[in-house]
Amino acid sequence: MRDFRSALPAADIFVFDNNSSDRTAEFARAAGAEVHSVLRRGKGYVVLSMFERVDADVYLMVDGDSTYPAQMAPALVAPILHDQADMVVGSRLDPGSRSEFRRLNRLGNLFFNALMRLFFRRTLNDVLSGYRAMSRRFVHSIPLFGGGFEIEAELTVKALERGMRIVEIPVRLVERPQNSRSKIRIIHDGVLILSTILALVRDYKPLTAFGSIGLILAAIAVLAPFGPAATLAFSIAAIASIACGLVLHSISRHFQELNHRLKIIENKVSNHEQDQQDRRKSASAASHR
């Protein structure tokens, strides 16, 4: 924590303790951090609590395992401060980074990155990084529901679907300190992240999801050596799946248009409030002359 205090001396530092069994909260308070307790287990619930309890112009989120470099914090925050990005991701898998990964963890990250490129047509080097800077606008406009380690995938997908500006900056992940262990359960959390990505594809890309299922069913109906009844059943299921995808795609488009209009209204209200604040400040300054 002292490293982050040195890197961002003007920042307020919050530590969210998720039922830790060591003396994390005690040490954090002694170092000057504001400590909050999150009783419900799960990284996603911690992030939700962060967004609810902390009000800031710029948010910097980092895992508390001392594997992310504090000296990169100003570089992550800078694009937010200069209004060049809504979310900045510290990319551990960027070609310019020399991160120390376990082989299985690296393969898992590469697999999920490939899924994102396939479904969302956006090349990102690190979908699951826990080192991110975010704007106030981003934090207040992204609804989150994930309770575990799938939270980073949810943040990324929803940012992409809302047209948020995402910037990646290479960071080097280092080894954990001695006597520190990861809470990630590779199989369990890997399945959870995969199911979350597929659920987000279903919600935000329904034609892709149901259209793909329909095409697979149609291929089975044509190519598999079934009798007439089974072939007819697969054909009907294929048509129904594609039709469902088309209907949901149309509904999704309408919601996207509604969300866009609400965003315009929100920006106008925000700009109006800012103008009023500026006028009040000008009037106050004039009255003191």
Confidence of residue 276 (pLDDT cuts 50, 70, 90): confident
Q: For the domain that residue 13 is a member of, what is the CATH number?
A: 3.90.550.10
Indicate whether 101 and 29 sit together in one domain. yes
- Of 7-16, 119-128, 176-185, 249-258, least confident by mean pLDDT is 176-185
Indicate whether 244 and 116 sit together in one domain. no
Last residue of one domain, picked from the residues 202, 223, 248: 202
DSSP 17-36: E-S-SSSHHHHHHHTT-EEE
State yes or no: pLDDT of 273 exceeds 60: yes
Indicate whether 176 and 89 sit together in one domain. yes
Indicate whether 198 and 213 sit together in one domain. no
Q: Which residues contact 65 (CB under 8 A, 6 or more apart)?
A: 176, 177, 180, 182
pLDDT of residue 284: 60
pLDDT of residue 180: 59
Q: Return the axis-axis angle of helices 228-287 and 206-223, rounded to nearest 10°.
A: 170
Indicate whether 242 and 216 sit together in one domain. yes
Last residue of one domain, picked from the residues 151, 185, 202: 202
pLDDT of residue 183: 63
Query: 3-state secondary structure string, 206-217?
Result: HHHHHHHHHHHH
Mean pLDDT, to the nearest integer, of 128-137?
Answer: 91
Q: Which residues contact 57 (CB under 8 A, 6 or more apart)?
A: 135, 136
State yes or no: pLDDT of 256 exceeds 80: no
Indicate whether 122 and 89 sit together in one domain. yes
CA 270-168-166 angle, 5° bins: 30
- Of 96-100, 231-235, 281-285, least confident by mean pLDDT is 281-285
Last residue of one domain, picked from the residues 169, 186, 202: 202
pLDDT of residue 177: 62
Indicate whether 197 and 221 sit together in one domain. no
- Which residue in the block uniquely carries the two structure tokens 């309408």? 254
- 147: closest CA among 203, 202, 193, 182? 193
Indicate whether 154 and 253 sit together in one domain. no
List, for residues 61-78, the tens digit of each pLDDT value: 998 777 888 999 999 999
Mean pLDDT, to the nearest integer, of 110-124?
Answer: 83
Mean pLDDT, to the nearest integer, of 75-86?
Answer: 94
Most confident of 55-69, 232-246, 273-287: 232-246
- Of 93-97, 118-122, 202-206, 277-281, least confident by mean pLDDT is 277-281
Indicate whether 137 and 237 sit together in one domain. no
pLDDT of residue 260: 62
pTM of the model: 0.71
Indicate whether 158 and 264 sit together in one domain. no
Mean pLDDT, to the nearest integer, of 223-248?
Answer: 91
The total domain count for the chain is 2
State yes or no: pLDDT of 181 exceeds 90: no
pLDDT of residue 125: 85
Q: In terms of residue numbers, what domain contains 155?
A: 2-202
User: Is 177 or 152 the better-scoring residue by pLDDT?
Assistant: 152
Indicate whether 150 and 227 sit together in one domain. no
Indicate whether 40 and 93 sit together in one domain. yes
